[in-house]
């Protein structure tokens, strides 16, 4: 589906096998930037290379034209097909420094952040050729530039990217959707990152990995709704902080989810990790600059 002059979106459905009996239906958006060459924002899960290559051929282009893959972060549904695409198209890869260890060594990622069905979602480790940081401008071609925003929280090296001629913002997994299962490493940097995105002038379209394209004011409303959702979660977690020591962690996690109106059955260690990050505020040293 073509979104702007240069951008095409592919919605990739996949399943997460939580256990032998249960599979969760999920999806992720992958974006292609068409210039004289082709550039990818994220790659989807293992096997997505077939869908991407097929789409490129259908639109009269050649998969060999892919020259760069930019990974918004290292999670399985973003890097899963990256190894295969790199092998087949011979392109280079770019990501934020904080994400590189988990891209270059997927076993390390599996040990440190165990997603169910991990090995069916990720095709393999790959080398990152270009290290990105906040404020970088990536010149894809003379008239095609991407501005890099470091937007940590969901993960420490999550980035968002603005394609300057189209004023299109790729936001990866940075903007949470109200009612969705909350997944982030750190609530405080998440809040700061949403404020940072909200302050960007003239977003004509926001392209999230887990939401449909949001145009103009709808983009800002979506960021604001994400911000309010996280603030609401923060209130609920802080109001129930005392229960953390009284309950086992899975039970505490379930009780917080239910207070948020999400079925407790959705509780898992990744959600627990999100909620626990709120409690870091309570152990902040006096005089900490943190004010959220
Ligand atoms: Zn993610």
Enumerate the domain spans of the chain: 7-216
Rounded to the nearest angstrom, the distance between the alpha carbon of 184 and the centre of ligand 1 is: 8
Rounded to the nearest angstrom, the distance between the alpha carbon of 185 and the centre of ligand 1 is: 10
For 205, other C-beta atoms within 10 Å of its C-beta total 19
pLDDT classification of 167: cutoffs 50, 70, 90: very high
pLDDT digits (tens, 9 = 90+) for 221-235: 999 999 999 999 999
- Architecture of the structural domain at 7-216: 4-Layer Sandwich (3.60)
Rounded to the nearest angstrom, the distance between the alpha carbon of 153 and the centre of ligand 1 is: 10
Rounded to the nearest angstrom, the distance between the alpha carbon of 15 and the centre of ligand 1 is: 15
DSSP letter (8 states) at residue 284: P
Query: What are the strands, taking DSSP E only, across 114-245?
Result: 130-132, 137-141, 144-150, 159-163, 168-172, 205-208, 214-215
pLDDT classification of 20: cutoffs 50, 70, 90: confident
> Residues 191-203: what's their mean pLDDT?
97
Main-chain dihedrals φ then ψ at residue 58, nearest 5 degrees: -60, -30
Q: What is the pLDDT of residue 19?
A: 73
pLDDT classification of 249: cutoffs 50, 70, 90: confident
> Residues 117-145: what's their mean pLDDT?
96
Q: Is the separation of the CB atoms in 253 and 271 below 8 Å?
A: yes
Q: How many CA atoms lie within 13 A of 39 on its CB side?
A: 21
Rounded to the nearest angstrom, the distance between the alpha carbon of 31 and the centre of ligand 1 is: 15
User: For the chain, percent helix, then strand, then coil, each to nearest 5?
Assistant: 40, 25, 35
Q: Is the separation of the CB atoms in 201 and 230 below 8 Å?
A: no
Q: What is the pTM of this model?
A: 0.93
181 phi-psi bin (left φ>0, alpha ψ -120 to 50, beta other): beta
Which is it for the CA torsion 169, 186, 242, 116, positive or negative? positive
Which residues, listed in sequence order, are joined to residue 10 by a DSSP beta bridge?
30
Rounded to the nearest angstrom, the distance between the alpha carbon of 26 and the centre of ligand 1 is: 12
Rounded to the nearest angstrom, the distance between the alpha carbon of 62 and the centre of ligand 1 is: 29
Give the total residue count for the chain. 292
Q: Please give the structure tokens belonging to residue 214.
A: 């949001």
Q: Which helix (H) or strand (E) holds 95?
A: strand 92-96
pLDDT classification of 63: cutoffs 50, 70, 90: very high
Rounded to the nearest angstrom, the distance between the alpha carbon of 72 and the centre of ligand 1 is: 9
């Amino acid at each position: 589906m073509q979104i702007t002059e240069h951008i095409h979106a592919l919605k990739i459905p996949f399943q997460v096998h939580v256990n032998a009996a249960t599979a969760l239906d999920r999806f992720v958006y992958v974006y292609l930037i068409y210039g004289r060459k082709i550039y990818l924002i994220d790659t989807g899960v293992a096997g997505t290379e077939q869908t991407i290559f097929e789409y490129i051929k259908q639109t009269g282009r050649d998969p060999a034209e892919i020259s760069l893959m930019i990974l918004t972060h290292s999670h399985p549904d973003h890097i899963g097909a990256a190894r295969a695409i790199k092998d087949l198209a011979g392109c280079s890869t770019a990501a934020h420094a904080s994400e590189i260890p988990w891209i270059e060594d997927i076993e390390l990622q599996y040990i440190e952040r165990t997603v169910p069905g991990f090995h069916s979602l990720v095709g393999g480790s790959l080398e990152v050729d270009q290290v990105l940081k906040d404020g970088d401008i990536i010149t894809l071609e003379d008239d095609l530039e991407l501005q890099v925003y470091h937007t940590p929280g969901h993960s420490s090296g999550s980035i968002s990217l603005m394609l300057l001629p189209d004023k299109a913002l790729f936001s990866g997994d940075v903007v949470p959707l109200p009612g969705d299962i909350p997944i982030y490493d750190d609530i405080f940097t998440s809040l700061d990152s949403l404020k940072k995105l909200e302050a960007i002038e003239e977003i004509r379209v926001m392209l999230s990995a887990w939401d449909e394209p949001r145009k103009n004011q709808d983009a800002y409303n979506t960021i604001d709704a994400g911000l309010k959702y996280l603030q609401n979660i923060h209130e609920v977690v802080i109001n129930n902080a005392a229960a953390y020591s009284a309950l086992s962690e899975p039970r505490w996690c379930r009780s917080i989810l239910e207070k948020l109106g999400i079925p407790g059955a959705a509780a898992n260690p990744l959600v627990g990790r999100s909620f626990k990050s709120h409690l870091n505020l309570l152990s902040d040293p006096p005089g900490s600059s943190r004010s959220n």
